[in-house]
Structure 1
Amino acid sequence: MKATLILANGSIFEGQSIGSTEDCVCEMVFNTSMVGYQEILTDPSYAGQGIVMSYPLIGNYGVNSEDNESSRPWGEAFVVRHLSRRGSNFRCEGDLDDYLKEHGITGIQGVDTRAITRILRSQGTMNGMITCAEDFCIQDVLKTVEAYRVKGTVERVTRKAVQVYPPLIRQKLRVALMDFGVKENMIRCLQSRGCEVTVFPAHTTAQEILAGRYDGVMLSNGPGDPSDNVAIIQEIRDLYDAGIPIFAVCLGHQLMALATGASTRKMRFGHRGANHPVKDLDAGRVFITSQNHGYVVCAESVSPEVAAVSHVNVNEGSVEGLRYKNGNVYTVQFHPEASPGPKDTEYLFDRFIRRMEGGAW
């Protein structure tokens, strides 16, 4: 079936429908990863967004029940150059097209994803619509596309009840994890280091967390504009003031910055992929990282009395990590659990364990 992608700037791309045939309006972003499409689709940070895969061949190893990063896909739409109709891998349990259909994700293939990526890079992230209708009015579509806003996403993706995950080895510590859209592997990284992980809904109060007498708190990744989460930011401020060890990733990193007086801004097209070089200024080393974010902490807004920049993006110098002067908080923008290198930055979890045990970061 014919499908059409219409971007907010009026660009039109015709291709073939994959997945659901329902009309879909969302914010269009691109990802430069060559593999990991199932993990990308199930990353809650993509709520409200359509994903353009810049690598031309997607779906060639199929899908399976082990690679999900959450209980369901959160990507709103999926755009590829060529969708492999058959997965070839010993772990394959189904094909990607059926997976998209099963979960109601609208998609399109046979379009020039390189041209779409260049538009999003040069003009910035923008809204778009995928439709299978052939008689659409472009003016009406553009009005609908322009009116779309990504909002309320943290409330959509967070779990509704507390959930406890037992340690995978002998228990050493108890961690409270704030779920703003957490990826499952983040929980596993703590479990494999002897942590019992209690995962709390996003709007849990600091008082409830502190009453549990946990050894540390982790603030997870998640979707949307960090400044929208006013109530959550206040609770994070209260956790900061309590002096408990805190490790924060992605959205959690941004929320902690906002809670301590810094500011954030929306990037032109964000960082999404498994090949972003980041320099650890303390170690003097560059690591290849996995990233998925459209907002960033403004370096000039970080008070030197509160925190120091610990990591920077090698490509354009943006803030990728903050080390807080109170000695109990460390935050990074990238995903140390995502293993692009494959496990280069998991050392940050070891630092968190060491801090909870009374050592230094």
Structure 2
Amino acid sequence: MDKPTPSVTERIDTATGGLRMRRLRQADWSRRLVRETKLSTADLIWPIFVREGRGAPQAVASMPGVFRLSIEDCVAAAKRARDLQIPVIALFPYTDPSLRDANGSEALNPDNLVCRATRAIKAAVPEVGIMCDVALDPYTSHGHDGVMAGDTILNDASVEILCRQALVQAEAGCDVIGPSDMMDGRVACIRQALDAAGHRNTLIMAYSAKYASAFYGPFRDAVGSGGMLKGDKRTYQMDYGNTDEALREAAQDLAEGADMIMVKPGLPYLDILSRLAAEFGVPTFAYQTSGEYSMIMAAVQNGWLDGDKAIVETLSAYKRAGADGILSYFAPTVAAMLRG
């Protein structure tokens, strides 16, 4: 006598041993209960563009919803960060073209825009951390991160200036120095300069794996360096075809005294982020670049994406890949969502 054909349920139970993976997905509370990767406000660093003068914020045309802020408005943004429990803001200056020169001299002015903004924020909102960018591209007339001889970026001469830039920022009250220039040996020299000047507690977050990327264009618009850039940055920023090189860069930065490392850009380089986080086990960050931000915003404005869902999903991908934190222009939007 033929055996009855097992039902679909019986066949599934036999194949799976009775395990039903969907059981944990059927309710919102159970999905939240077992979620492996959780995004929180403590994971966020908010990059802010600061400008001279007073008055209304200036829109960055290529970054919808992002503005250049006066120092007064930067203080207000820091207060908002505090209220949203965003732990750190990162300051980037829009330097007047009249203050730019071939050597980025304004970067060494202890009363420059970033230093004044840092002092104002620290006086008003001392509990919010401040990260300052160490690179010369917001200050040079040629748009590069270092000084030049003809078409060549001079590594050691640039590092000497970067050390002095880091010192004026630390003396203004900066908590985290972020060398983004990709010059060889700059972390060691900055750490030595900070320590010698009594700034032993100033942190360094090294842009260890910063790639020569097409995703930086809107940022360069925001700081005013895009139209000035002569040539490209491929002689000092990393080749996007390389992964092992990123490990070597990070290992060198850590040996030189970096407290934290970073991957930039973020989303197109999640494999690099994952490798660095797994290899070193140190605080590892990623920068959601201006190009990534602008792509998402363009799709949202065209009705092609649900903005809130796409933003949280994207930032969660950074966390899933191993990021301890993310620099994102979406930080206040996400923090407000996470807080309900």
| Structure with the higher strand share, 1 or 2 | 1
Work out whether the TM-score is over 0.5: no
Larger RCO (CA under 8 A, 6+ residues apart) = 2
